[in-house]
Amino acid sequence: MKIFLLRHAHAEPGEIDSDRPLSPKGNKQMKGLPAKYLQKVLKETLVVEHSPYLRATQTAQLLKKSGQRLALKKLSGILPDDHYRRTALMLSKTTKPRFLVGHNPHLTGLVGLLLGLRAGEEGVRFRKAGLMALERLTLPTDGHPYGRWRLLWYVIPD
């Protein structure tokens, strides 16, 4: 089972974090993602789940423009400061490919946890508009409560 993780693209500064829109740079970043990776991902998933924050929603909407029958769905629990262990538990129980658009530090913590790093270790520097694929190798066990995962690939727009 695979999961695809995308950090939202660059956003404008603003006082209300949840209302920050994508910047022109963010739109350019999304256009810079390699089409072969996006097409591969969009063939494997029909739904893009995203944070309710505006910049993540807009990032998901840009994906929809390049996707065939792609649906968008807001997902709670993937905000910047939400605890990534809850997301890891959710993903450990899923059986179909998932595509999440979220934020740091949540995504960095999630990836570190799934790859078996110690709490607080940063295994991947999750860049804005970075797209990553992870594959679950085993189901959860007592020793690996989220299953065992491996990094398949990671692309950034530049």
* Cβ-contact 149, 115 below 8 angstroms: yes
Burial category of 4 from C-beta neighbours within 10 Å (exposed 0-12, middle 13-18, buried 19 and up): buried
Domain 2-155 of CATH type 3.40.50.1240: yes
The DSSP secondary-structure symbol of 22 reads B
7 bridge partner residues: 102
Q: What per-residue confidence (pLDDT) applies to 17?
A: 93
pTM across the whole model: 0.94
Q: Which residues of the chain have pLDDT under 50?
A: none
**What is the reported pLDDT for 129?**
95
CA distance 109 to 30: 23
Indicate the domain borders of the chain.
Answer: 2-155
Cα dist from 101 to 11, 139, 145, 151, whole Å: 14, 23, 23, 17
